[in-house]
Structure 1
Amino acid sequence: TQPKPRANPHAGGGRPPPTTMPGDASTAAAALAQAEADLSAGRLLAAQRQARRAARLDPDSAAASVLLAATSVLLADAGCPRATLLLPEDPKSSLASDPDAVRRHYKSLSRSLRPDDGASSYPAAAAAAQEALRRAADAYAALKDERDAPPPPPTFWTACAGCRLLHEFDRQYVGFRLTCPSCRRTFLGSEVPPPPPPKKHKAEKTLAEMQLQLAKRRGKDHKVPQSSSSDEYDEPAESEVQEEDLVSDHSGQMTVEDSDFYNFDADRVEKCFKRGQVWALYGDDDGMPRHYALVEMASPGRQFRAQIRWLEHQPDGKEGKPCGSFKVGREAMVHSVNVFSHLVACERVAREKYRVYPKKGSVWALHAGEYADTGRPKYDFVVFLSGYSNVHGISFGYLDKVEGFRSIFTRREIGVHAIQYLREGDVGMLSHQTPAKKVSKGESSALPPGDCWELDPASLPAELLHA
């Protein structure tokens, strides 16, 4: 047998086919040069297109692959670590839940972002790769922290009874009296259905899409007859339409009924405010209405505005004391009725001086310590049976909550001690006045015998409402 002839390595049949033609390599180099110019001018999308073209023409070009990876990272959403790391959005993907797979992907991405020795020829591309590498490292660290962090506490959605806006709180506060972050009014944290997810809008439109939208709008303009009257139809802007949709979607979910019978909110609508009135406002500490203000101007309507002047307690000038002499103080502008609780029955003793004490038939809260489990203030509620006198003080009777109702109270029967007296030195026991309405016995057969009052739930602590 004769030995087989060895193949000549320099012959055409033994040489692997070239991956890049000479003409393609020069075109790829030109594309990289154009990408470098686009990067220097801040045109990331254009640079990415040129890098993709160079990688297609010359698959062996390390500079093209580095630039393509760098522009992909820089164009990703910087606020989303998964997008910055170029991870797939599919939740079923192994990269969505496997930490080891994510780590291997990050290492591979980091290697692809490290420029080779020829990076000096493309300084802008090298700088872009360094920035992309930094962002990828930050995104991977954020993803690790997010994975290692303890699960967030359960939350619930609730709606402010005043401004009707939805808010999310920790679930441990269900049933507590909360302060609305928008209007600062306190309300009962009752759970409501969560809002629907926001609609996603495309961030960019192509020229064809813009022309199509413009043609549709022109078609609408031709269909709407023009009128010379003042009631001419104006097409709302896109942002206005979205806002109206948001209101209509949530308006049915945001009504929170606190009271059993009487609607106390009807006593503090925009048309109720007049110049010269003194109103009680909710405080920031526990949300009870123990601040007073004089209304100097009220502008009702959609854009409610009220110019007020705070009443400062005399002689110390402090706010938040419910009884005594008050002097008109600093000015403020209020843009929401939801910070107001009720009209104050006060006595004007001088041009800018007022006197506030409980009136006969009014219901007030007395300080009664704190709740042992929450540490929140505890109150006793009383109805005053006479007016205040510096000599004799004022008489009152304690109120107890009626079982089966949230805010219905009746007189406490304690024999000869049914009537108590508050002397001049005991006025500091008063916390705040609570709006109240006497309940007619015809409204519910479950009411006990004797007089009953319904108290405004906005001026009651949450612990008492759920007791």
Structure 2
Amino acid sequence: MEYNRDAAIKAKKLAEKKLGDKDFASAKKYALKAQTLYPDLDGISLLSTIADVYISAEKKVSGEADWYGILGANPGDDDDTIKKQYRKLALMLHPDKNKCVGADGAFQLVSQAWTLLSDKGKRRGRPAPDTFWTVCHGCKMQYEYLKVYLDQTLLCPNCHNPFLAKQSAPPHNLNHQYHSSLSNNRDRFWIPETDPSIASKAANVIQRVNERLKREREQLSPGYGLPCKNRKTEMPIPNRSGNNNTTRELTVFETRKILVNKARKEICRKLNEWLSENKKPPANNVKVSNQTMDIEEPQAMSVPDPDFHNFDSDRTENSFQDYQVWSAYDDDDGMPRFYALVHKVLSRKPLEMKISWLNSKTTAEFGNMEWIGCGFRKTCGEFRVGKFQTNTSLNSFSQKVKFTKTPRGSVVIHPKKGDVWALYRNWSLDWNESVPDHVIHQYDMVEVVDDYNEQGGVSVRPLVKLTGFRTVFCPNTDETEVRKIPKEQVLRFSHQVPNYLLTGKEARNAPKGYLELDPAATPLDLLIHTTT
């Protein structure tokens, strides 16, 4: 459609501007947006490739750029594969053939990566991840995982069934019927087999630091533990004399950076103590190079625009009323998994509310699964009302949710007929803290068919992405696709998604009777991939 082409051209120009500003993550976002809108747009695939090269260069692996990532290769690839990747990129990015913004610098990075990785001596000297091979007992697919997952129950990405990850012989032909988890988790985990006590100590320190971070967030800004879109925190700024005489608003990224620096110092101090005592490397989600700690900075959240409905108009200052429960964005992947009870709206401009965050220490109503203890968020069931606090952050909140209150004052939230929820696609009763993020953060969008009840659970029907749109979905009308979620599996509900029933009057091409989902509560991969 011509409308899509014009929007794609606009997104492409923004991608080029972001490349020039060295904002590579945003450049990638706009390039993907343009590619989704109009895949045949000239040069858009190239822009996306250039952004990928720079993003890999910024990512640090043992203190260096991600040279394999720059070439679009993996550490386990053979020489021929790496050479093919280099030739492909060099041909695309060579300055004599490509005058695109950023192509020259990307070509230099690709050349530098090839110079290093083609030198087998230097390549052998680079630290390789400690991995093992395992096989799914159901479909017999073979996988390569980091050693942290050895003897853990994992979900097979191929058949979606759980299996115990026991070490097995590597496949004879690495190009046939295997999967390496390192393509998604490279240098994220590094846990030595020889000293589990160090890994355990490191994990305990990180847990304590996370708890401290949570407390400090609350001190910096009520509700800060709920990352939101474009929220700011006001902090004092020292003037040249060192006195805090002036103030300005810090962005979420700046505030997080302050807290992460505090965490880094604490973790480094503890781990270096154990290093001096044990002379062995620390582990578990941290990397130590030359006695200094590298912790990945949190990425800013990017939210695509909806196709038609302005969801922000549903959460203005006037949307909040006394005695409401609102969902709020969490600090995991930015989905709305927190809940807040609004006791009283004190003022609207500026917004100021007396609220309590809802919390729960157990999921016993759904069985014996150690859900909260493994670090997952509870979004269904009974919640206690926390302490009163004042909140002024409008952008923390996603939508008003339905609830009931028990005689003892707790709040109960269950899926209701007509609600739209995201379900964990690979959910299993065996999930624990060892399940990798790329397994957890995959979702199916569903519409709730009937209200939840303890005897029958709740029924849902899948939502199907409408071709040609980013945020428009339609219910699957095939009644055989309706499935029952029993009480024991209610934890599979990840979060509620704000939605809007299109009337067809929103725009000339608005499809009447379809549901538009709020992109701020919809995983990005569902927005950029069109399902027929």
Shorter chain as normaliser: what TM range? 0.3 to 0.5
With normalisation by structure 1, the TM-score equals: 0.44
Which entry has the higher C-alpha Rg, 1 or 2?
Answer: 1
